[in-house]
Structure 1
């Protein structure tokens, strides 16, 4: 069941989204070669708590971190670790959630570390661009899969592939609510969008094939061929006009 949010609920989520967006914006300058993924996790935790909010990911289904920090071929759910060092030329995906008054915001970005190769940078840029192609259809009257189709079309037109096994989702009091929002598919399918729906739309795009594997820690997901993956996500409110991105 898709839960339609009231204006009051969206106001609360907007406050949470500001903090999540602030963290992701400041990480662009914070992440440096030589630091560990745990350094990022501690920054995320500190910042969320300074704003009197709760790190959504900590303990979620047993996840040990405050953020998911994934490097290079890691698609999602990288576990922060003080021994996992970030190097010049890496790309680092950070997925963050903050909970405020019981409501969740959820967003992700992928960052180049120092100088990265041209194809890695293009992957990051196309992943972001595919998100913005998708939200052209995040409007009242379109169907859910119109978003999915636009994301896939953009990514594949640039020679990249779309992860199938992980998808976007509704978000509100729970981090994962109905509906699921694949980043691929035919247009014109699924529920018609109405004002008050709130989604976490999150393309996960990779250089090679879309097949994935899960590491022995039961969390970290990697590309099966070892090629790079990137992630871009925002919490999005469907309005009567333009969609509102709570986490920019």
Structure 2
């Protein structure tokens, strides 16, 4: 990512430098990419995002209660939409850049952005990612989970487990005043122990006041690269882990141009949480 050499951070007029100011200005002088002040959420904004996260987590809990073999992905869309709206929220995906449904439902080799349809039926052995974003009172929260339909293969079970471990390891690497690259390095190192591919064409992101904000949270790379992460920032970590190659393509049969497929059409798995960076590490706001 390219960034301007112009100063991005300034101390507030008439106030002493805080630890936050000192850290950001130190790394800025070192030539690192640092956040703008507007990426640090206020306590009121954090509480708004937290409330949105409660609804968003409830959506995925409701899916966990009701998902089963024989249902269509369109039924999952209705479950998510109705729960979100019934709790005062708005589905962020619906109509976003032309996306036609309220939720992304991605099965097996579909990495992400799967469009719910009444012709796609879940079957025994499928692994399914359900990715939902809630807007509540103008605040956004974003999360996804994997669901295993009935009994699947040991290979798919391992993929789902390792993908979740990648999220957890990435969260452990996310410390105050670390860099995005620290997260990606930890995730890539763990995934590649299993010879899995970490998708590089898609990433996590800042979230809260908009659907997608800075920084881009890549899930591969080197320590000390990417944006500095400071207390008050809210972002997702959402590694997409492929059983084979990290490469992907857009499904040519998708009229909307959204569905992303693994390059070798082997299965993929993804878990996503919305995190708040605190003085002590990350806090989960939606899962």
TM-score by length of 2: 0.84
Who is 1:169 aligned against?
205
Give the superposed CA RMSD.
1.1
**CA–CA distance in structure 1, aligned partners of residues 196 and 65 of structure 2:** 27
Query: 1:73: Cα distance to partner?
Result: 0.2
Distance (Å, rounded) in 1 between the aligned partners of 2:250 and 2:145: 21
Residues 212-223 of structure 1 aligned to structure 2 (within 5 Å): 212-216=248-252, 217=254, 218-223=257-262
Q: How far apart are 1:27 and its partner, in Å?
A: 1.9
Alignment correspondent of 1:244? 283
8 Å contact kept, 2:112–2:260: yes
Q: Which runs of 5+ in 1 are unaligned?
A: none
The separation in 2 between residues aligned to 1:100 and 1:29, in whole angstroms, is 23
Please identify the structure whose Cα radius of gyration is greater. Answer: 2
In structure 1, the partner of 2:16 is: none
| Cα deviation code 1:34-81 (max 9, x no counterpart) | 100000000000000111010011001110010000110000010010
Matches of 1:130 and 1:178 in 2, distance apart? 21
CA deviation map 1:196-220 (0-9, x unaligned): 1100110000101011110132110
Alignment partner, residue 199 of structure 1: 235
CA offset at residue 26 of structure 1?
3.1
Q: Which runs of 5+ in 2 are unaligned?
A: 1-34
Checking the alignment, whether the CA contact within 8 Å between 2:180 and 2:218 is kept in structure 1 is no
**1:142 matched to 2:178:** yes
TM superposition shift of 1:134: 0.6
Where do 1:105-184 residues align within 5 Å? Answer: 105-184=141-220
Q: How many residues align?
A: 248
Hey, what does 2:268 align to over in structure 1? 229
TM-score, with structure 1 as normaliser: 0.97
SS in 1 for 2:165: helix
Is it true that 1:21 corresponds to 2:57 in the alignment?
yes
**Paired residue secondary structure (1:246):** strand
2:125 matches 1:89: yes
Residue 21 of structure 1, CA deviation: 1.2
- Structure 1: distance between partners of 2:127 and 2:206: 27
1:226 CA displacement: 0.9
2:221 alignment partner, SS class: coil
For 1:116-146, what per-residue CA distance to the aligned partner results, in whole angstroms no more than 9, with x for missing partners? 0011011111001001101112221211110
Q: Which protein has greater RCO, CA pairs closer than 8 Å, 6+ apart?
A: 1
Q: CA deviation at 1:233?
A: 0.3
Q: Are the aligned partners of 2:113 and 2:259 in contact in 1 as well (CA < 8 Å)?
A: yes
Aligned partner of residue 80 in structure 1, secondary structure: coil
1:151 deviates by: 0.9
Alpha-carbon distance between aligned partners in 1 of 2:42 and 2:221, rounded to the nearest angstrom: 30
Aligned residue number for residue 246 of structure 2: 210
Mean Cα deviation higher: 37-46 or 26-35 = 26-35
